[in-house]
Amino acid sequence: MGAQRARARVLHGYYSQMEKRSYEGASTRRRMENWNTAGTSADAALKGSLDRLRARSHDLVRNDPHANSAVERIESEMIGVGIMGKLTHPKKDSQSILSAKALWQEWAETTACDADGLNTFGGLQGLITRTIVESGECLVRKRRIRVSDGPIPVQYQVLEPDYIDTLKEETLKDGGFILQGVEFDKQGRRVAYWLFPEHPGGLSILPKSFTSQRVPASEVHHLHRVLRPGQVRGVPWFAPILVKLKDHADFSDATLLRQKIANCFTAFVRDLENISTLPSASRDSTASPLGETMTPGQIEVLRPGEDITLANPPGPVTFSDFSRAQLQAIATGMGISYETLTGDYSQVNFSSARMGRIREYVNIEKWRWNLVIPRAIHPMFLGFLEGAQLIRDDVDELVGARWTPPKRELTDPTREVPAMLQSVRAGFQSLPDAIREHGFEPDEVFAEIAEANEQLDQLSLKLDSDPRNMSRAGVYQPPPQGDE
């Protein structure tokens, strides 16, 4: 026994020394004893919580103005009226690119690309983005139609992730497996999705079918942020701030209710000796007992023996300070600035507003170029190209696309435009790159400038805005000798 106790003391001392030299965040002492964690995978942590997280996100977007604003602003910043596609080809004037451009205009700039017939290509981009933010993931399903039913026999349908049969899980005979409604082969590659034929929570006059059907992965684009390696399903973007949004809404309602109660100013009159001389507002002996409600301006006369005690709860902290602190945390959790979330610019100047915009724009660019464009927009373009080749023999596989995001609004154009001009003149960026930052396609801008210059020359007009004739200081500069 003595030897065992000695060994126990030695081990205790060893582990105590190891704990002192380890990370404080992993300590199990009193300060951290209530911090219970589990070493689960991304999908194990999400399983059992995904449906509730999505439902609460939908509820907040429907009923909370700040949650709705977050979705609207992220969609507007990332997509705007749409990320424009410029079709390209090694031979710029070939019949292939001309035919593809004509079909693209007829398909993408109309509702012919939408299986529901409601959105243009830009509208589909916005709907996809909203769904990813609110639900954490989105499904874009390719639908093939008859050639006679549209300019291209391919359309796309945007589906909410509720269509995935989350409970579908099993091991397959060929070594593959199904995890939360997504089927993988034995190498871990996605090969199919198990989808319900209709939304399981939707309205229908016909009996619902709750039997999921296998849809090949080549027909479905599954979009979500990959936050951890091996993650199968997407997490709603509101997940880290759901509690804060609910607490902020509850605090706002409680403050409003407190103010309503405070406005119910009530006077209580107590005069035991001259109760018969009180004004007509007094109650007679047959009056009902003292009421349980109060109204603004109410006067209550207390009869002999009656008394009343009012609760005096402590006043809350200043609402604006608490609200601002909560909304700043909410904006941070969504990856946008407080000013973008709330529209409150009362405490910013140019420098702070620009710093906030730069930080936000980095997130917007990341989401745009790592998620929406490569995993949704460009694959949808490839589906268009596949359909175009089915109906036109002159459209070849060399047709490509270059994507131009919407215009980035400037915080202060009087400062930022000269800085951009200096950047181009110094060679830090090209003129076409600067034009794309404004949401325009350089080829179209140059062609329009050339056309406008030709028209000015034909009419012998010399405008102050024409750099060929006027310097930046407004001084006329004649053309070099030998030029007309």
What pLDDT, in 10s, does the model give residues 167-184?
999 999 999 999 999 999
Domain-located, residue 271: yes
Q: Are residues 330 and 268 in the same domain?
A: yes
Domain-located, residue 290: yes
Q: Are residues 200 and 251 in the same domain?
A: no
Q: Are residues 233 and 291 in the same domain?
A: no
Domain-located, residue 438: no
Average pLDDT of the chain is 84
The whole-model pTM stands at 0.79
Q: Are residues 58 and 123 in the same domain?
A: yes
Q: Which residue is listed with tokens 């994507």? A: 403
Q: Are residues 153 and 267 in the same domain?
A: no
Domain-located, residue 202: yes
Of 240, 266, 291, at which residue does a domain stop?
240
Q: Are residues 142 and 253 in the same domain?
A: no
3-state secondary structure (DSSP) of residue 204: coil
Domain-located, residue 374: no
Number of domains in the chain: 2
Domain-located, residue 196: yes
Domain-located, residue 451: no
Q: Are residues 102 and 210 in the same domain?
A: yes
pLDDT digits (tens, 9 = 90+) for 440-467: 888 888 888 888 888 888 888 877 777 7
Length of the chain (residues): 484
List the one residue out of 101, 187, 193 whose CA is nearest residue 381.
101
Q: Are residues 121 and 208 in the same domain?
A: yes
Q: Are residues 197 and 261 in the same domain?
A: no
* pLDDT at res. 208: 67
Structural domain range at position 328: 242-307+316-337
Domain-located, residue 15: no
Extended strands (E) in 82-202: 84-88, 137-144, 154-159, 170-171, 177-179, 182-184, 190-195
Helices (H), 230-337: 242-263, 319-334
Contacts of 474 (CB under 8 A, 6+ apart): 464
CA distance 441 to 381: 18
Sign of CA dihedral 407, 408, 414, 416: negative
**How confident is the model over 207-223, as a mean pLDDT?**
89
Which secondary structure element, helix H or strand E, spans residue 366, and what is its range? helix 350-367
Q: Are residues 66 and 187 in the same domain?
A: yes
For 469-478, b where at least 16 C-beta lie within 10 A, e where not — what string? beeeeeeeee
Extended strands (E) in 249-399: 266-270, 298-302
* pLDDT at res. 413: 80
CA distance 115 to 142: 9
Task: Report whether 107 contacts 100 (CB < 8 A).
Answer: no
| Backbone phi, psi, residue 50, to 5° | -60, -50
* pLDDT at res. 62: 95
**How confident is the model over 38-44, as a mean pLDDT?**
85
Q: Are residues 134 and 259 in the same domain?
A: no
Q: Are residues 236 and 262 in the same domain?
A: no
